[in-house]
Amino acid sequence: SVCMKTASSSNVLSVIVGKVQTVLGPMDPEQLGRTMTHEHLTMSFECCYCPPAAGADPEPENPFQMQHMHWLRQNPYSCRENLYLQQETGAVRDELLAYRKAGGGTIVENTTTGIDRDLPTLKQLAKDTGVHIIAGAGFYVDATHSEATRKMSVEKLTDVIVSEVLHGADGTDIRCGVIGEIGTSWPITDSETKVLRATAHAQAQLGCPVIIHPGRSPAAPAEILRILQEAGGDISKTVMSHLDRTIFDEAELLEFAKLGSYLEYDLFGTEMLNYPFHLEVDMPSDSQRVKALAFLVKEGFEDRLVISHDIHTKNRLAKFGGHGYSHILRNIVPKMLTRGITQQQVDKILMDNPKHWLTFK
Ligand SMILES: [Zn+2]
């Protein structure tokens, strides 16, 4: 029976090689179009609720009224209601239709185990809207690992991840097309280290894309790549997320870029004064993000850049006065073009780089 399973897995794998895997099945990479490489369409971020800081304004009673929109933007994690993105599937469906109208083709939906991945909803959204959706395998940060997850060996974790890609996840036959976002904290915990090693082992078997959520320290991204590489992972097919809140120093950024992963600026649309997960961080503005992209392009990394919004709370949806999933296409691309990034380079960032990353090899 072991041989049978190996045979059927290798059959499944032979169908995906050279393709991308969406929630509706394998697809020719040429069909992806413009791609946001780090979004959420349905999830819960309850794990990361932060009470309002001492001395700060308390949570308003009816937070989704117009007069509280600024409070919500400044304190998105201090309102429980705001953390249940999975309650807004209707609004998300409308926004995906708008995303297609704005020229969007694909969304990589990074929700993994721990933050309420919902594959049937993703499949329905793909059918309803025509947007290609690629789902994520694996586990979010340690704080969301179950006791069962913590007890698993690297081998067992590898089997779970491989199966989510080859056969389907969460008891469905809907297959993930990327591993991640794999969550890590800083310092990286033992359970997270096991998951990182399992991610590398699974990637070595599958030739698939990987995407990582690093902890909030400039040292975290390089340390993660070291662990992945040591376990046989393919750094050139790995995206490092959230660089906009992680590495600020230009020299450090260049040093990290030379390690060869994809470099992701994925918090476009997020502007807040106090970042409650790491108060020492000054969350950049969108203009500063564009400046970082222009710097990395000038330094020769245009083949390594990918961008996104990482929408994970309700207030960022257009329905609640937010920027929505089309903000990059509508507002950021024109800004990039005025800051020394060419249309050809924009096309690389939005189409060619995601296509190369997402194709199974
Ligand atoms: Zn995310």
How close is the Cα of 229 to the center of ligand 1, in Å? 22
Residues 190-193: contacts with CB within 8 Å, 24+ apart? 191/142, 191/145, 191/149, 191/150, 192/141, 192/142, 193/227
d(CA 75, ligand 1 centre) in Å? 18
pTM (predicted TM-score): 0.96
The model's pLDDT over 252-277, given as tens digits with 9 standing for 90+, comes to: 999 999 999 999 999 999 989 989 99
Which amino acid belongs to residue 257?
A: A
pLDDT of residue 5 exceeding 70, the answer is: no
What's the rounded mean pLDDT across residues 29-41?
Answer: 98
Position 7 scores a pLDDT of 53
Distance from the alpha carbon of residue 137 to the mean position of ligand 1, in angstroms: 13
Query: In whole numbers, what is the pLDDT of the chain averaged over residues?
Result: 96
Where do the DSSP E strands lie in the chain? 20-22, 25-27, 34-39, 104-109, 132-137, 178-183, 210-213, 238-240, 262-265, 305-307
Q: Output 56 or 143, whichever has higher pLDDT.
A: 143
Residue 5 DSSP SS3:
helix
Residue 1 has pLDDT above 90, yes or no: no
The residue with greater pLDDT, 129 or 53, is: 129
Predicted pLDDT at 99: 98
**Does 40 count as an annotated binding residue?**
yes
Radius of gyration of the chain from Cα atoms?
A: 19
* Strand duo 104-109 + 34-39: pairing: parallel
Per-residue confidence (pLDDT) for residue 10, from 0 to 100: 85
State residue 56's pLDDT score: 79
What are φ and ψ of residue 262, in 5° steps? -70, 145
3-state secondary structure of 6: helix
- The domain spans of the chain are 27-358
In the reported structure, the alpha carbon of residue 4 is separated from the centroid of ligand 1 by a whole-number distance in angstroms of 36
Question: What's the 5 CA to ligand 1 centre distance in angstroms?
Answer: 33
Confidence category of residue 31, pLDDT binned at 50, 70, 90 = very high
pLDDT for position 54? 79
- What per-residue confidence (pLDDT) applies to 34? 98
Is a pLDDT exceeding 70 seen at residue 232? yes
* CATH code at 27-358: 3.20.20.140
| Residue 38 labeled ligand binder | yes
CB 19 within 8 A of CB 29: yes
CA diameter of the chain: 63
Q: Which of 345, 252, 235 is nearest to 290 (CA)?
A: 345
Closest CA to 42 of 105, 90, 97, 100: 90
Q: What is the mean pLDDT of residues 155-182?
A: 98
Tell me if 128 is assigned to a ligand binding site: no
Mean predicted confidence (pLDDT) in 323-347: 98
Distance CA 263, CA 240 (A): 6
CA separation for the pair 175, 26 (Å, rounded): 9
pLDDT digits (tens, 9 = 90+) for 161-174: 999 999 999 999 99
β-pairing verdict for 210-213 and 238-240 = parallel
Q: How far apart are CA 61 and CA 58, in angstroms?
A: 9
Ligand 1 centroid – CA 47 distance (Å) = 13
d(CA 40, CA 306): 16
Residue labelled with tokens 């995407």: 211
User: Annotation-wise, does 28 bind a ligand?
Assistant: no
72-96: average pLDDT: 97
Cα 356 to ligand 1 centroid, rounded to whole Å: 21
Residue 170: Cβ within 10 Å count: 13
Flag whether pLDDT at 4 surpasses 80. no
pLDDT tens, 288-305?
999 999 999 999 999 999
Q: Distance from the CA of 263 to the center of ligand 1, in angstroms?
A: 15
How many percent of the chain have pLDDT more than 70? 98
Sequence letter at residue 196: L
